[in-house]
């Protein structure tokens, strides 16, 4: 896997506002190092270029692995995952009533939520605290 240069990684992070481009977790409220993720993995022909890179928290990046598609739990059909470079987040996701749960608006959103486990119980508990501190959603 080709790694992004430090300069390229800094561009990706700044463009994302230092938030995970999948779950929207801000880096500043975690004690974790975020990743520069290949949206289309190099193993699948993706390039190490600004147009194919996104900023991802470790949880999202580790769950995504080298996937580019997943099963939509509603239709049980394979669909592509959310692409932060070509998709608008708001078209595919929305926050639940108390902002702890992400809800998929589309097959892409639902499949991405399922594949990346964006509604993991621990993450939802953390979001409740982040909302109370006015750090989420963003």
Evaluate if residue 33 carries a pLDDT over 90.
Answer: yes
Q: Residue 129 and residue 25: Cα distance in Å, rounded?
A: 12
Q: Which of 13, 23, 43 is nearest to 127 (CA)?
A: 23
For 94, other C-beta atoms within 10 Å of its C-beta total 15
Q: Which of 101, 98, 125, 122 lies closest to 113 in space, CA to CA?
A: 101
Q: What is the pLDDT of residue 130?
A: 86
Average pLDDT over residues 76-83: 98
Q: Is the dihedral of CA 44, 48, 51, 57 positive or negative?
A: positive
Q: pLDDT (tens digit, 9 = 90+) per residue, 85-136?
A: 999 999 999 999 888 899 999 999 999 999 999 999 999 999 988 888 888 7
């Amino acid at each position: 896997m080709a790694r992004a240069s430090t300069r390229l990684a800094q561009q990706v992070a700044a463009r994302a506002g230092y938030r995970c481009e999948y779950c929207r977790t801000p880096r500043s409220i975690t004690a974790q190092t975020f990743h520069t993720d290949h949206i289309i993995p190099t193993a699948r022909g993706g390039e190490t270029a600004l147009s194919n890179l996104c900023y991802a928290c470790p949880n999202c990046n580790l769950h995504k692995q080298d996937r580019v598609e997943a099963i939509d739990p509603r239709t049980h059909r394979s669909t592509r995952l959310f692409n932060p470079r070509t998709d608008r987040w708001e078209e595919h996701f929305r926050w639940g009533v108390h902002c702890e749960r992400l809800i998929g608006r589309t097959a892409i959103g639902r499949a991405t939520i399922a594949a990346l486990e964006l509604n993991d119980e621990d993450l939802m508990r953390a979001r409740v605290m982040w909302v109370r501190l006015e750090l989420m959603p963003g």
